[in-house]
Amino acid sequence: MVRKGQRVNATFDTRSEAEEWAVRAEAAILAGQKPAQISPISGRQTVADIIARYSREVSPAKDGVRWEEIRAKALCRMPVFNVPPPSFGPSDLASWRDGRLRTVSASTVNRDLNFISAVINHAIKEWCAPFAANPVHLIQRPKNPRARKRRVSVIERAAIADALGWDRKSTPVTKMQWVAAAFYLALETAMRKGEILSLRWSNINLEKQFAYLQKTKNGDERYVPLSSDAIALLRIIGVRADEDPVIHVASGTLDQFFRRARDIAGLPDLHFHDSRREATTVFSKKLSNVLELAAVTGHRSLNVLKDYYRPDPSDLAKKLG
């Protein structure tokens, strides 16, 4: 649409929404507003509609697209979001928060709030959505539970390998054995599960002893130094063609087999991600300062890194003399 030499456009699901917006947009231009100030959000659209649009248009460009699509569908079914943006305030969100906390953990609620906040911020900045403010910034967030302290002993890692049928000496063949190899590689490198599963042989330089991660959880690239034990493990796994994956198993399959193995091994409280904490703590004894440790693990926040560093108090006492 063009009025007074100014062009504005927007896309809607129905003709009636488009016509309603066109009337509002024309009135806004005649009132002297600039195109950037005119919201491409129909007056009939709800917060749920905006969440669904974000899931369709923005989430696909993210690494966490699957999680965001699942979360968006769940939120869109909740009545609290079935209101127009101007009516969606902090009291509504606070009531939703309190109700959610009766069924899920504080960590889950905070992840939901992070997603809702990202949706609203994007809608305000890119779609000129008529939110009075971002209500996520105006409510108290629930306190996350204390960080996990779980480490992984040598006996426990061997028990997991046994439960998955891997002898730690031969190239994995079955999917269960590949899960065991992934766990061992995580213990030797402090890499996250997703980083390990995305790793290709072309990303590994055995001669210079590093693995290159083009994109990590925080969006940065990272070089992961490989210890002699890590290199020995990679040679057991078996070097292949450049674009072959290092670990031949899908994420969902890994989760399923690892949970089964920990139950068989009698370790129901063990998580795959505990390998990152164990590796970080072991590395801390070998490196001279925290900056080197952060460079190895890829942590950008020292506060987060602290959650992964779980030294034995007796080891620290020995250093004090």
Whether 299 sits among the annotated catalytic residues: the reply is yes
- The confidence score (pLDDT) of residue 37 equals 44
CATH, residue 195: 1.10.443.10
Do both 158 and 27 map to the same domain?
Answer: no
Assess if residue 149 is contained within a domain. Answer: no
**Residue whose token pair is 């947009």:** 25
Judge whether 277 lies within some domain.
yes
Residues 262 and 161 in one domain: yes
Question: For residue 305, what pLDDT is reported?
Answer: 75
The strand pairing partners of 222, in sequence order, are 213
Reduced DSSP (H G I as helix, E B as strand, rest coil) percent helix, strand, coil of the chain, to 5: 55, 5, 40
Same domain for 99 and 18: yes
Task: Please indicate, yes or no, if residue 297 is contained in any of the structural domains.
Answer: yes
pLDDT (tens place) for every residue of the chain, 321 residues total:
444 455 555 555 556 555 555 555 555 554 454 544 445 555 578 999 999 999 999 999 887 788 899 999 999 999 999 999 989 999 999 999 999 999 999 999 999 999 999 999 999 988 888 888 999 999 999 998 787 888 999 999 999 999 999 999 999 999 999 999 999 999 999 999 999 999 999 999 999 999 998 877 766 788 999 999 999 999 999 878 788 999 999 999 999 999 999 999 999 999 999 999 999 989 988 887 888 888 888 877 777 677 777 767 777 667 776
Residue 3, beta-bridge partner list? 6
Are 118 and 192 in the same domain? no
Alpha-carbon gap, residue 263 to 259, rounded angstroms:
6
- Max Cα-Cα span within the chain: 80
d(CA 274, CA 152) in angstroms, rounded, equals 7
**305 and 172 share one domain:** yes
For residue 83, what are the CA distances in angstroms to 78, 86, 136, 311?
11, 8, 16, 50
Could you tell me the end-to-end alpha-carbon distance of the chain, in angstroms, rounded to an integer? 77
What pLDDT is attached to residue 259? 97
Instruction: With respect to residue 145, please indicate whether it lies within any of the assigned structural domains.
Output: no
**The total number of structural domains that make up the chain:** 2
- Active-site residue (options: 97, 151, 192, 276): 192
Residue of 217, 273, 286, 306 with catalytic role: 217
Residues 42 and 105 in one domain: yes
Single residue among 78, 112, 138 that ends a domain in this structure: 138
What pLDDT is stored for residue 316 in this prediction?
64
Give the residue from 95, 110, 138 where a domain finishes.
Answer: 138
Range of the domain at 306: 154-320
Query: Counting every residue, how long is the chain?
Result: 321
CA distance 95 to 100: 9
Active site annotation includes 223: no
Residue from 188, 265, 268, 278 nearest 228 by CA? 188
Residue 144 lies in a domain: no
C-alpha distances in Å from residue 281, one per residue of 139, 228, 267, 269, 312:
36, 18, 20, 19, 9
Residues 228 and 179 in one domain: yes
Residue 284: per-residue pLDDT: 86
Look at strands 222-225 and 210-213 and give their pairing.
antiparallel
Identify the pLDDT of residue 43.
Answer: 55
Note the pLDDT of residue 31: 47
Range 172-178, long-range pairs (CB < 8 A, 24+ positions): 172/237, 172/248, 175/248, 175/249, 175/253, 175/257, 176/257, 176/261, 178/247, 178/248, 178/249, 178/254
> Nearest CA to 75 among 60, 94, 56, 55?
55
Residue after which a domain boundary falls, among 107, 138, 169: 138
